[in-house]
Structure 1
Amino acid sequence: MEATSGIAALTLSDGAVKVEPTVDGSFGAFTVAGATKGRMVYSRGKVYAGCGQKVIIIDPATDQIIKSIPFEGHQIKGIAKGADGNIYCPLAATYTGSLYSPTFTSSPKMVALDHDGNVLSETDMPDEIELPIASWSPSVGFCASFTQPNLYFVDTDAFNATSASRYNYTTQSFDVNFLKSSITIYGIMGIHPTTEEYWVGQSTYVNSDIYVYDISSGTPTEKSHFKYNSQRGASPAEIDFVYRFSDEWINK
């Protein structure tokens, strides 16, 4: 139920972390103007982030926004860099009413941007997909394959979301409910950079597991999972791979 949000740089030193001032233009009412609570993308010397109903591009040398790309009425639900080097964002549908009892007035979309912030494509999602807009669901676990033209995201606005869809940006086609689970999908998902395994955090809010799926056949098949007792004080916020921070990937 966050009310406001923003973006700040952290300066790291031995045994200390300094929180720098909030980036001008990134702070505001959550889901409207403030930063999306989720992963950002660092690529080719710039930072790309969702911020309410716009995507912003930040120069990390100055901590200043150098461009904003507005999508009026559409919440930015995540951001990821695809294997083609473009930046992708799922957008929630426009709506009337409240955040917690909305009437959707359009389809959610998948948007592709180039590194200059130019919109390359906007694809409407199928009617079966509804992305959340309430402040307790700031993002949709959005992730991208490092090698294939596939993007993955939670596809329902339910608080206890148990399904995810896949989008192929080459064919502009959706696999609706690609993953179906009996457990809540929790945090940002991940695709392994070399095996193409699909890693998904799931939680009952008492216990949390990270499931690893083989998707080579086109249908997720569980290979293994790692258990974590949430009563120890944590749930899987996201799954990431160090390759995302390599020079090869950053400069792609």
Structure 2
Amino acid sequence: MSVDWVTILAQVGNFLVLVWLLKRFLYKPILNGIDAREAEIATRMGEAEVARKKAAAAEAAFLEQKQKLLADNSVNAERIREQAEQEKDALLADTRKNLEREKQDWQSHLEAERERFTRELHLASAETLYRLVRRALHDLADEDLEEHIALNVIGKLKPLVRELTSAAGRSEQAIATTHTPLPENTQEKIRAALERLAPGLSLSFTTDARQAPGLILRIGSVQVAWTVDSYTDELTGLLADRLAAGGSGRVNNHG
């Protein structure tokens, strides 16, 4: 069996193009926004410097006024000096507070943009990886793999049989569909396992070339799938939930 390397390489190329597009059309606007924000902060700092100079000039004016009034009324001169000090301190404190608030707001905004970009890049990368994994599994799947999946179903029927038989109602017929015919001994093993778990429920086997490799069990209107697509779909869901939650760590095995 040969692997469709051309398709896989094309998918990898698509992934690289996707990363380039994200950098050009998503991250570049973010950087432009950062530059604009930095320019705004620089302007505000310039305004703060002007305010500081005004405060210094006001202090100098008050000190000059104090010197003029000192000879006539030392009490009034001291009051004016204290007022000048208070106004200067209040102006400087307000300027520092505004600058600190602007700095914190900017840092929060920048961190949020970085997290958003990283999350979107991870999701886009994961989506491309899902396609590659599914394509590779379909290309590598053969009758032996499908038989292994079918035999693995035996161990998964026991916790589901009560739910399946209850949901199926009065149906006495179960149908197992595979991509290719299963060996007779494998069919008998699955049929015997189902008979032990649900006596009186007969099982027949059929094939569907359009179905992904694996086994789909139908009892009445109830259907349970153990196929290459169902495994990759579950992996997709688990990883998507992990990325959405911002978590990390290994994903549990298929259950």
TM-score scaled to structure 2, two decimals?
0.21
Bigger radius of gyration? 2
Q: Which has the higher contact order (CA 8 A, sep 6+)?
A: 2
TM-score scaled to structure 1, two decimals?
0.21
